[in-house]
Amino acid sequence: GAVVSQHPSWVICKSGTSVKIECRSLDFQATTMFWYRQFPKQSLMLMATSNEGSKATYEQGVEKDKFLINHASLTLSTLTVTSAHPEDSSFYICSAPWDREWNEQYFGPGTRLTVT
Amino acid sequence: AQSVTQLGSHVSVSEGALVLLRCNYSSSVPPYLFWYVQYPNQGLQLLLKYTSAATLVKGINGFEAEFKKSETSFHLTKPSAHMSDAAEYFCAVLNRDDKIIFGKGTRLHILP
């Protein structure tokens, strides 16, 4: 089946630095990818929709200047957390729709970000 | 707007017993509904999905769910729980913007 990968799976960074997280669709093309964040023991909250060749669309309350999204190709989307702070520590998960009807999405394994 | 509500943040069942995880949806149009499972420190795995083809949907690992329009429910069941079923389970709905909206999740505990 379709596979979505994320890199890195785990990252620790110092407060004030930036971190880039990659999301790749390994055996299919994804013109759209979604980014979620998940706080400990909570549900997934949609952050933004990444669109290949155009700007990402952000959900209400998500700072677009803090969470930079680039969808450089049909198989790669990146999320950069800029000037990270401890409150940005979370589990970040991406997903990509699989078929044309978009009723199935494949999720990446997630990236655990810890900001110290 | 489409949404789902999961009843019970924690459910405990004995090994071999019936598993029932509840999910109710809110949607003005026929919904696409999903159940996902998440093991600790891992991403999500699709268990099953409802796309209006059949009201009883069978998924992986012996799970199934029944879509009941009259009750606006999509409860997840498994006849006999196994220790490996211990995980977090999320009910979700696809909204009009093709975005998946998740419920708050239910953590399933399996008692030996």
CA distance A10 to A116: 14
Which residue from A78, A81, A43 is spatially nearest to A62, judged by alpha carbons? Answer: A81
Please state the rounded mean pLDDT for residues B5-17.
Answer: 95
Predicted pLDDT of residue B21: 98
pLDDT (0 to 100) of residue B100: 87
Of the ranges A86-100, B18-32, B45-59, B60-74, which is most confident?
B60-74
Of B43, B103, B104, the CB nearest to A110: B43
pLDDT at position A1 = 58
Report pLDDT for A42: 84
Considering just the CA atoms, what is the radius of gyration of chain B in Å? Answer: 13
Question: Average pLDDT in the B87-101 region?
Answer: 88
Average pLDDT over residues B15-43: 89
Read off the pLDDT of each residue in B65-86 and give the average, rounded to a whole number. Answer: 95
How many Å lie between the alpha carbon of A110 and the closest alpha carbon of chain B? 5
User: Left, alpha or beta for A87 (phi > 0: left; psi -120 to 50: alpha)?
Assistant: alpha
CB nearest B43 (choices: A101, A103, A109): A109
pLDDT of residue A81: 97
Task: Name the minimum distance, in Å, from the CA of B94 to any CA of chain A.
Answer: 7
Please answer whether residues B32 and B25 qualify as being in contact, where contact means their C-beta atoms are separated by less than 8 angstroms: no
Q: Are A48 and A41 in contact (CB under 8 A)?
A: no
Segments of chain A with pLDDT less than 70: 1-2, 99-103
Which pLDDT score is estimated for B12? 97
DSSP E strand stretches across chain B: 3-7, 10-14, 19-26, 32-38, 44-50, 56-58, 64-68, 73-78, 87-94, 100-102, 106-111
pLDDT value at B53 more than 80:
no
Query: Which of A43, A49, A101 comes nearest B103 by C-beta?
Result: A43
